[in-house]
Amino acid sequence: MSADMTKTATDDNSDGMSYLETTRTKLVTIWLPLALICFVLLFPFYWMALTAIKPDHQLLDFETYNPLWTWEPTFKHIQKLLFESNYPRWLWNTMYVAFAATFLSLICSVLAAYAIVRLRFRGAEVAGGLIFLAYLVPPSILFIPLSTVIVAYGLFDSPLALILTYPTILIPFCTWLLMGYFKTIPFELEECALIDGATRWQILTRIILPLAVPGLISASIFALTLCWNEFIYALTFISSVPNKTVPVAVVNEFVDGDIFRWGSLMAGALVGSLPLVILYSFFVEYYVSAMTGAVKE
């Protein structure tokens, strides 16, 4: 839909009509609403981080201390989290499951996308359509029957249950994204290789994959984020405390009656989000292209 349109938009360097607007109108019509929206979008994270480093006596006392700032930051909550709880184990589980599921999905998706786009076997279009449909099946309608399947395969309470079920969310997404990337690689390259006697497998590993590296990065970091975010399967298929992933553990294991639990709860949420935010800050462009690539046909 967008190939030719993208070209027009980037080719002419016109600024549109924005030069007609004065700085003062811009301040009111653009910067003010933008600042407001950014404030609302970011405030929860500020509050989360602040609570995580507030000492206990300031946590609930809004009258004697200004709740929006603290002059005595403490790493007590984070330290307790990392050294006196199962948290490192949960973090490890989350990462292990996320990386394994992403890797597995990427292999399946590369093969499937290449076959659909370039082998064009009989029924390739149908296969592409079915994979898109799989994209539209949400985990919330699958988890109950899937839990009986997991139990029947003997995978219950094992990380393998998550490593094998997460790809059902990731494969459709990655396949569609990679199909888009593979389509942009010129046919001629492949024809040359075929004439030179390369096999399909060699074409895929030597020509297509090196050229599709940006697509692979987009797909994998986005898939990692989806895995990290996944909740309902991890909640249903994992029962023992040490095997849980961070999101599930934070919701289930931190909620005791303690009135000061908020400090450790927010520390848990903060430490659980940071790896993703750091990863994100390095790969912003890839994230955006993954997101927008996935919604374009």
Partner 1 sequence: MDDFTLFSIGSGTMTATATLSKDRIEPRYSAWERLKSNRDWLGFWFMMPAAAILLLFLAYPLTKGVWMSLTDVKIGRPGVFVGLENYEELIFFDKTFLYSTGFTIIYTAIASAAKFVLGLYLALLLNNNLPFKSLIRSIVLIPFIVPTVLSAIAFWWIFDSQFSIISWALRKWGVIDHNINFLGDPILAQATVIFCNIWRGIPFIAITLLAGLQTVSPSLYEAATLDGATKWQIFRHITYPLLTPIIAVVMTFSVLFTFTDFQLIWAMTRGGPVNATHLMATYSYQKGILGGQLGEGAAIATAMVPFLLAAIMVSWFGLQQRKWQQGSKE
Among the listed residues 136, 182, 167, 133, the one whose alpha carbon sits nearest the alpha carbon of residue 293: 182
- Tell me: does residue 27 bind partner 1 (CB under 8 A): no
- For partner 1, the binding residues in 152-181 under the rule CB under 8 A are 164-165, 167-168, 171-172, 175
- Judged by CB under 8 A, the residue of 185, 198, 211, 217 near partner 1 is 198
* Binding test (CB under 8 A) with partner 1, winner from 25, 27, 30, 191: 30
287 binds partner 1 (CB under 8 A): yes
Q: Which of 144, 154, 256, 257 binds partner 1 (CB under 8 A)?
A: 144
For the segment 68-107, give every residue that binds partner 1 (CB under 8 A): 68, 104, 107
Of 33-41, 72-80, 82-90, 182-190: span binding partner 1 (CB under 8 A): 33-41
At residue 32's C-alpha, the angle toward residues 27 and 34, to 5°, is 115
Figure out which of the listed residues 64, 121, 240, 257 binds partner 1, where binding follows CB under 8 A.
121
57 vs 206 by CB, closer to partner 1: 206
Q: Is 200 in the site for partner 1 (CB under 8 A)?
A: yes
CB of 243 to partner 1, least distance (A): 17
Least distance in Å: CB of 48 to partner 1?
Answer: 4
Nearer to partner 1, 83 or 136 (CB): 136
If one asks whether residue 60 binds partner 1 (CB under 8 A), the answer comes out as yes
Q: Is 192 a binder of partner 1 (CB under 8 A)?
A: no
